[in-house]
Amino acid sequence: MTKKVLVAILLVCLCGSVPGASNMKQKSFTPESNEHETETQKEEEEARITLCREPQIQASAASITAEAETTVIVTNVLNMYQNRWNIYLTADEIDLLAKIVWVEACGEPSEGQEAVVEVVFNRMCSPDYPDTLYGVLSQDDPVQFCSWKLKDTAKPTEKEYQSIYRVLYGQTAILRSDTVYFSTFALTPQVDRKICCHCFCYGR
């Protein structure tokens, strides 16, 4: 009886130790499993961050490209003057012309100032005169553009600039294309227009 009791007790102890061993085995794999799960989570997080950043980078690149294209478009629009002479003036040339228009016709109506600008452009396109603004305005002529010597005393206003821009943008059609003279009196028998105090003439 005693032996049987001892055997039974041993069997009970052995059976009780098996779940413990099983738990130990499971626990022995737990650290590796957690480490694997942590690395996987890190990789997933990095992938998520990358996916989030890519649209931002693409959006920034698209924004920069759009901004550059807008700048080019705006610049082209500002620099494109459509007029019958196909003349383009730089900002410095416009400032120079504004001084001459002020000296020549500051007391004239806007139409008279615009006609002065048209005479300048007619001369620039004529084979008989220089083809640059500076060349036309500074040409040694005893009658036309004697205002050149007074350009540094000029004080052009918004009125002179607006008159220039209207001609540059093709909003005027006042004179013939061969009208290249203007003065307070008729310089040739062929008078194209008389505007206020100025006679605008062509021919010789």
Region 45-54 average pLDDT: 58
Whether residue 192 sits in one domain with residue 97:
yes
**pLDDT for 29:** 42
The answer on pLDDT for 78 being more than 50 is no
Whether residue 168 sits in one domain with residue 148:
yes
- The answer to the question of residue 85 being in a domain is no
- pLDDT tens, position by position, 105-117: 999 999 999 999 9
Tell which wins on pLDDT, 140 or 151. 151
Whether residue 159 sits in one domain with residue 101:
yes
Structural domains counted in the chain: 2
- pLDDT tens, position by position, 169-203: 999 999 999 999 999 999 999 999 999 999 999 98
Boundary of a domain, candidates 46, 80, 114: 80
Whether residue 152 sits in one domain with residue 57:
no
Whether residue 60 sits in one domain with residue 4:
yes
- The answer to the question of residue 3 being in a domain is yes
**pLDDT for 172:** 97
Whether residue 124 sits in one domain with residue 186:
yes
Whether residue 28 sits in one domain with residue 99:
no
- The answer to the question of residue 128 being in a domain is yes
Whether residue 64 sits in one domain with residue 99:
no
Boundary of a domain, candidates 80, 113, 128: 80
Whether residue 125 sits in one domain with residue 26:
no
Region 140-169 average pLDDT: 90
CATH code assigned at 124: 1.10.10.2520
- The answer to the question of residue 163 being in a domain is yes
Dihedral pair phi/psi, residue 144, rounded to 5°: -80, 135
128 pLDDT band, cuts 50/70/90, is very high
- The answer to the question of residue 195 being in a domain is yes
Dihedral pair phi/psi, residue 182, rounded to 5°: -155, 145
Boundary of a domain, candidates 80, 103, 119: 80
- The answer to the question of residue 86 being in a domain is no
Whether residue 180 sits in one domain with residue 124:
yes
Whether residue 96 sits in one domain with residue 169:
yes
- pLDDT tens, position by position, 21-38: 444 344 444 445 455 556
Dist CA 149 CA 139 (whole Å): 11
Whether residue 186 sits in one domain with residue 98:
yes
Tell which wins on pLDDT, 113 or 61. 113
Q: Which domain holds residue 186?
A: 91-202
In b/e form, how buried is each residue of 120-148, taking b as 16+ CB within 10 angstroms? Answer: bbbbbbeeebeeebeebbbeeeeebbebb
Residue 4 structure tokens = 């049987």
**Is 98:160 a contact under the CB 8 Å cutoff?**
yes
